[in-house]
Structure 1
Amino acid sequence: MPKERRERSGRVERVQKCQQGIMFEKGKGQHILKNPLIISSIVEKAGLNPSDTVLEVGPGTGNMTVKLLDAAKKVIACEVDTRLVAELQKRVQGTPQASKLQVLVGDVLSRDLPFFSVCVANLPYQISSPFVFKLLLHRPLFRCAVLMFQQEFAQRLVAKPSDKLYCRLSVNVQLLARVTHLMKVGKNNFKPPPQVESSVVRIEPFNPPPPINYQEWDGLIQIAFQRKNRSLSATFKNKKVLELLNKNYHIHASLHSKVVPDDFNIKSHISSILDESGFSSKRPRTMSIDDFLELLELLNRNGCHFCG
C-alpha cells in the first residue's frame, strides 16, 4: 500500500475511533458497545430488581450504565481510563441518575470488589479468565453475572465433556456456577470493531458452593488437562507429577502420625487406585465434573494430595 494511502487510511481509522472527542485504544481492549438493542437485551437478561446493586466493569462512555441506572438501586462502575470516567460522569451530571452512580477508578483485578448483587461487564477480553475467577471466589456470593466475552472463550465456558473446547476452564467454572450462553454479538456492534466475534454469557454461582478443598481440586484438574486426550494411567506416570504426589503423601502422613513403609512406591500406589476404580483408562476430555469429584475423593482418601 502506498505511503500516502496508508496515512490517509490511518487518519480515517482514528476518526472512526473517536466518539465525543475520545479516541479508544484497541490495545487496551476498548471496544464500546453501541447497538441499543443489544444493550437493552443484556440489561433485560440480567433480571434486575429495583433493590439491586450492580457492579459494571468497563462502562466506557456509559451506553449501558444509563440503562442499568434506570433499572437498579445503585450502579458501581469500575473503569481504568480516567478519560472515560470523566465522560461517564458528565453524561449523568444534573440528572436523577447521578446520585445512584458510584465510580471506582482503577484496575478491577488489583482491588477488592465491593458488595453487589449482579455484575454486568463488557470488559477487555485479555482479562476474561482472571476476572471470572475473581468473581466466583468473591464473597458474599452475588446472584448472577451477565458478561461479554470473546466468542471462543464463551464457548469454552459452556463446553461439555467430549466437546472440542472442553478444558480446564470449563470444568473449574462449571464446578462453581451454572453457565448459560445467551447471545452472539457481531463485530459491527462495537466502536471500534474488535477483530473477533463476541458472545454474552450468564453465570449464576451455586449457593452454597460445593464443599471441597478448591486447591486440591484445581491441582488435580491442572494435571489432568495438561494432556486432556491422554489416559489417566499415562498422566499419573509423569515424573514431576509423581514427585509432587510422593512429597505430599509423606507430608500428610507425617501430619496424621501415619507410618510410611520403607518399600512404599507412589507410582504403584496410584496405579493400583486407578486400576481398581476403573479410572485408569479414562481421559479427561470425556470426564464429567462428577467423575473428577469422585476421583479427587478417592485419591485424597488414599493419601494422595495435590497441595502440601
Structure 2
Amino acid sequence: MPKERVQKKSRQHGDIQKQGINFNKEFGQHILKNPLVVNSMIEKAALRPTDVVLEIGPGTGNMTVKLLEKVKKVNACEIDPRLVAELQKRVLGTPYQTKLHVIVGDVIKTELPFFDVCVANMPYQISSPFVFKLLLHRPFFRCAVLMFQREFAQRLVAKPGDKLYCRLSVNTQLLARVDHLMKEWDGLVRICFSRKNKTIGASFKFTKVLEMLEKNYRVHCSMKNVAIPTDFDVKAKVTDLLEKNGYELKRPRSMDIDDFLGLLNCFNEEGIHFS
C-alpha cells in the first residue's frame, strides 16, 4: 500500500514537538496524521469486536485509539520508549486502558503474540524483514493491512516480467494473497483527472467508470454478506453521493490532497471502491 505523506501537522504531532521529542530518523519514524487515511486502513481490515490486533509502530496513537474502539485487544509494538509513554498517557483513565498491551522493543527481534489482524504504518528500513517475519508467523492470522512506500508495495504485487518482480514478490505471493489496496487511490485520481477541466460530477458519468464501480460494489456486498437492493442504480448512487458531500461541481485542478482524501472516504463509507 503506497504511503500518503501529509504536510499538515496534527495536534498530537505538535504537542510532541512542544514537549521536546524529536522523531528518530534511524527508526524511520513518521506519524500517520490524516484521519481519512487512518479510517480507510481500518475499514479495509474489516475488524470484528472479538479481534486481537497487532499494531506496529503506533507512535502517538492516532490509529491505536481508533482500533481500540472496535476490537477486543490491541498489542502495540513500539521501539521508542518516549512514544510508548505518550501512547500510555493517551489512554490512561479511559475504558481503552485495559484493552491496550504495549510491547517495547524492535519488532524484528520480538516474538509476536497471537493476533487475528495486523495493521501497521511501516518504517521503510524494516519493511522487507517484517514481511518475511509475518509470512512465517504461526498460528495463522486472518489478514494484514500494511502501509509501505510505493515502490516496496509495487514489489509485493509485481508479476513475472515486471521490472520490480523479485524474490520478495515470489515468496509473498506463494504464502499469501496480496492486494494493492491503495491502488484505489490511484484509480480515484485517474478518474478525476481524465478530464481535469470538467467537474467531478461529469467525470463520474462515463459508462466504463460506472460499470467498474458497480462491479466493485457488488463484490464488496458479497464479502460483507450484505443484500443489494433490487432497484440499485449505480449512477443514481454516485450522483447522490457527490451532491450530498459537495463534490459534484468541484474541479480536480482546484482540489488539494485533503479534498481527494475526503472524496475517497465518501465512496469508502458507501462500500464503493476503485481497485
| TM-score interval, smaller chain | 0.5 to 0.7
Aligned partner of 1:100: which letter? Answer: K
Which segments of 5 or more consecutive residues in structure 2 lack a partner in the other structure?
1-12, 187-275
TM-score by length of 1: 0.54
The whole-number CA distance in structure 1 between the counterparts of 2:144 and 2:155 is: 17
1:100 alignment counterpart = 99
Cα deviation per residue 1:79-130 (whole Å; 9 max; x = unaligned)? 0100000000000001101110000000111121100000011121110111
Cα gap change, 1:169 to 1:103, in 2 (>3 Å): same
Q: Which residue of 2 aligns with 1:84?
A: 83
Measured in 2, the distance between the counterparts of 1:70 and 1:19 equals 27
| 2:138 maps to 1:139 | yes
**Larger Rg: 1 or 2?**
1
Tell me how far 1:17 sits from its aligned partner: 10
Match of 1:256 in 2: none
- Post-superposition offset of 1:19: 3.8
Percent sequence identity is 74
Aligned pairs for 1:1-308 (under 5 A) are 18-19=16-17, 21=19, 22-183=21-182
User: Take 2:70 and 2:141, find their aligned partners in 1: how far apart are those partners?
Assistant: 17
Q: Measured at CA, do residues 16 and 68 of structure 1 come closer, stay the same or move farther in structure 2, by a change above 3 Å?
A: closer
Q: What's the offset of the Cα at 1:148? A: 1.0
Distance in 2 (alpha carbons) for counterparts of 1:17 and 1:183:
29
Task: Report how far residue 18 of structure 1 moved.
Answer: 4.8
Check 1:16–1:88 CA distance in 2 against 1; reply closer, same or farther (3 A cut): closer
Question: 1:20 and 1:56, CA in 2 relative to 1: closer, same or farther beyond 3 A?
Answer: farther
> Contact 1:57/1:78 (CA < 8 Å) preserved in 2?
yes
- Counterpart of 1:291? none
Take 1:20 and 1:71, find their aligned partners in 2: how far apart are those partners? Answer: 31
Q: Which residue identity is paired with 1:127?
A: I
Contact 1:77 1:104 in 2 (8 A): yes
Number of aligned residue pairs: 172
Deviation at 1:20, TM superposition (A): 5.3
What amino acid maps onto 1:149 in structure 2?
Answer: F
SS of the residue 1:166 aligns to: coil
CA distance in 2, matches of 1:67, 1:105: 20
Query: Higher RCO, 1 or 2 (CA under 8 Å, sep at least 6)?
Result: 2
**Alpha-carbon separation, structure 2, partners of 1:19 and 1:54:** 28
Paired amino acid for 1:58: G
For residues 196-230 of structure 1, give each alpha carbon's deviation from its aligned partner in whole angstroms, at most 9, with x where no partner exists.
xxxxxxxxxxxxxxxxxxxxxxxxxxxxxxxxxxx
- AA in 1 matched with 2:115: F
Name the aligned partner's letter for residue 180 of structure 1: D
Q: TM-score scaled by structure 2?
A: 0.60
Change (3 A) 1:85 1:18: closer
In structure 1, how many angstroms separate the alpha carbons of the residues matched to 2:56 and 2:14?
24
- Is contact 1:17-1:24 (8 Å) kept? no
For residue 40 of structure 2, give the secondary structure of its aligned residue in structure 1.
Answer: helix
SS in 2 for 1:23: coil
CA–CA distance in structure 2, aligned partners of residues 146 and 115 of structure 1 = 16
Q: How many angstroms does 1:167 deviate by? A: 1.0
Residues 118 and 144, structure 1, Cα contact 8 Å, conserved in 2: yes
Structure 1 residues 165 and 183, CA gap change in structure 2 (3 angstroms):
same
Inter-CA distance 105–40: structure 2 relative to 1 (3 Å threshold): same
Unaligned runs of 5+ in 1: 1-14, 187-308
Q: Secondary structure at the match of 2:68?
A: helix
CA shift, 1:27, in A, is 2.7
Partner of 1:252: none
Residues 1:158 and 1:60: Cα distance change in structure 2 (over 3 Å): same
Which runs of structure 1 show a deviation greater than 3 angstroms over 4 or more consecutive aligned residues? 15-20
